[in-house]
Structure 1
Amino acid sequence: MNKAILHHGNPKELEAKRIAEIKSLSYAERLERLMAIIEVSYALKNAPKIYRKK
């Protein structure tokens, strides 16, 4: 098994890399990522309700 590599570094540099990565995406790819974040957020918001019903 390969050892996991954590990216430790200056937070400003890491943020700049993320911003550059997002800027390189097309509009459709950005929209897909946004929808995935919204779906996860909705699932986390409603998770306690689901478990209380059981």
Structure 2
Amino acid sequence: MKSIKLNHAHPSIMEARYIEEIRTMTPQQRFEKLMAIIEISYLLKTAKKISK
């Protein structure tokens, strides 16, 4: 499979791509990806709201 950054396909195809990507990662890469997701989630949760 080709490595594509932006995917616009049927959800089942995108899920298959995601699973294949995860299987090719090392445990360290999986951990780093998880930590990045947690960090972004925290930043979004604690971000100041924009008031107009």
Same fold, TM exceeding 0.5?
yes
Task: Tell me the distance in 1 between the aligned counterparts of 2:28 and 2:47.
Answer: 28
The structure number with the bigger radius of gyration is: 1
Task: Tell me the distance in 2 between the aligned counterparts of 1:46 and 1:39.
Answer: 11
Report the equivalent of 1:38.
38
Name the structure with the higher helix share: 1
TM-score by length of 1: 0.70
Task: Tell me the distance in 1 between the aligned counterparts of 2:48 and 2:9.
Answer: 36
Structure 1 unpaired stretches of 5+ = 1-5
TM-score by length of 2: 0.73
User: Sequence identity, in percent?
Assistant: 49
CA RMSD in angstroms, aligned pairs only: 2.1
